[in-house]
Structure 1
Amino acid sequence: MEATTVEINTVSIGTLRLVSMYNPPNRRLLESDLDTILSNNIATIAAGDLNAKHQSRNSRRANPSGNILRAFTDDRDLVVAGPPEPTHHSVQGLGDVLDIAILKEVTLPYRITSVSDLTSDLNPVLLFLGADPDGEYETQMKTTCWAAFKDHINETLPPLPPLRTRDQLKFAIEAFEEAIIRSIESCSHEQRKPLYHTNPPEKVREIIRNRNRARRRHQRTWDSDHLRDYRRLAAEAKQAMLDHQNAQWNAKLDLLEEDHSLWRMTKILRNKYMPMPPIHGERGLVYTDAEKADAFADYLKTQFRINYEDADLDNMERIENEVSRRLEHEDNRGIRPTTTTEIQHRINRSKTRKAPGRDGISNRALKQLPVRAIGQYTSIVNAILRLRYFATRWKSADVIVFQKPGKAAAFPQHCRPISLLSSLSKIAEGIILSRLKELVGENHLIPDEQFGFQPRTSSVHQVLRPVEFASEGFNLKMSTGVAFFDVSKAFDKVWH
């Protein structure tokens, strides 16, 4: 017997083992093979073509392998399910059931059926599990009523306490976040939406029905004229579906305009889906999502460490002591406070489709905040500037990884980590950065040679300088040498 096994984690029955089996028609089924597959205590569905026929599974007659399987399953109290429709038709036009499923410790209701809509001689078999096997395939979408959200947060947002200490600021940030989260949850509901399907018109469906009738007629008679009719209708049905899909696609393209819809479609078409393979972690090859997450975490933990090689430890200690001293003593130099206008401007400029951080508050939710909430958030940011305190909860991030282009996705070092920070923290960070740039500019702390992250500068300006040197050397009949270097994982190792 040939068998391939996978395990999946389900909500209702826990771990579920799926086994694909095949036993050749000229080989008798062995109980030892079945014991190997079904001897564990895990919920198992073993399905396939065992060439084991028996009347209890809707076959026309029993064969030796079918009797062996019947005795094996009766002895171990296993469920064997066979579709009521034939899965194969012989050249004599006789239908029979060859593909079956063996269920062990599967407590969910099920329904099994044979599908005759395809063009193969062997019909595929569908096994439905669950309380509503006849239900539509659906997906759940969460929608929020933003008008109700504004009213709810206006009613439930607690008044802002005095922000004189860091503890008061910390509790105010926590209460402000929780008020937004509660309002989002209260004004959101899950909407069940059917998955996309082509929904062909009645004319195309009629062609498909004629094809299926011709196929069943040929399977009963095996007449050459019926086979010819079936092949003609199969080709006609295939072409009709292609024409319908092309018409749908052209209609969708006609609706695209030179706005976000056009560029969004372009991005979807350009992106290639890259499945996540097994990961080579520190503990070997891993397969499950939890094990892959641990492998990435181990790699990031190894990478994000300070590089102490050739480090000036005395200078590091001096800097750390100076930082501690400044944190212990109050700095009386004032930082220009922010305003509700500046806060609202930064919120409006944020990208709506950005993923939220750990708090789940998206940029779309921030753009719907009423004036009262914007005023409280402005007071919180001003307290951050005044007290020199940034909340610890805003320093935590969810880390996701993306595959680097042209790199093997099986190795953690070939993936780029992205930190998803709180949207509230990013707005506050933008305010702090603008004040820091003002201080740096007033005191000329950055040398003129640095062009990175500097206003009114670009890489083109820097490239112009070596071009001028090379041109001057060329005119003087002199050689010009250039040295480029790139520090691998510099950000991961730099002392922050």
Structure 2
Amino acid sequence: MFNTHTRSSVPKSTRTRGTAQNPHVILLGETMLLDEVELRVPNLFVYWFDEVSPRGYPYRGTTALVRRGIVHKELEHAPFSSVRTQRIRVYLDDEELLLYAAYKPPSETFCSTDVQTLFSSLRRTLVVGDLNANSKRFLSGPALTLQEVEPISLSELQRAVFRLPKRKAPGSDGITNAALMPLPIVCLAALTRLFNGILQTGHFPEMWKTGGAMQEPPRAGGTCRYMRT
């Protein structure tokens, strides 16, 4: 999927990418193309979902393009409450894959059951598009609500710090696990409040989600050390 930025650029941008990159499938969540505007790409089948604007004029919404030679089938349009979809079934390497080009207008109330229905099939499923939902709860299984997350206690944090391995590469700040163990109780209490605030809001700092390792040059008579980043 790619963003074509403007309605007028959809046909040209799609043809350019479809010709230059030779994709198997192109999924467009929102095209807003009028019926008289043709969307044709060499060597690609085109399927779209028809919409009607509040002013009554018809236009094309979600669109899927599939390369000729790919075994596929257009599926019926499911009657979702808030999400518009164009779905196709594709067979690649003897595997069946359901593909959805999806879109939800920002003016409509998001219905989470639509997303649950999309992934209710036992088949491999890929949903591509803009749902305008600002939701953080699209997971492979049921998620706990923020009210169901138990806060951690100061004693739990103390036990966790005590169990930290001492022989562990420090982070980019150079603080080792061994340096955390003698922290005074007031510092651990502040960390407890910080962690519980993160659990209650469901927001985790971006720097906690990525990691890496860099090699430090060996000191005189020593060996190389690794530092987490």
TM score, norm. by length of structure 2? 0.37
Q: Which has the larger radius of gyration?
A: 1
Question: By percentage of residues, which structure has more helix?
Answer: 1
Question: By percentage of residues, which structure has more strand?
Answer: 2
TM score, norm. by length of structure 1? 0.19
Which protein, 1 or 2, shows the higher relative CO under an 8 Å CA cutoff with sep ≥ 6?
Answer: 2
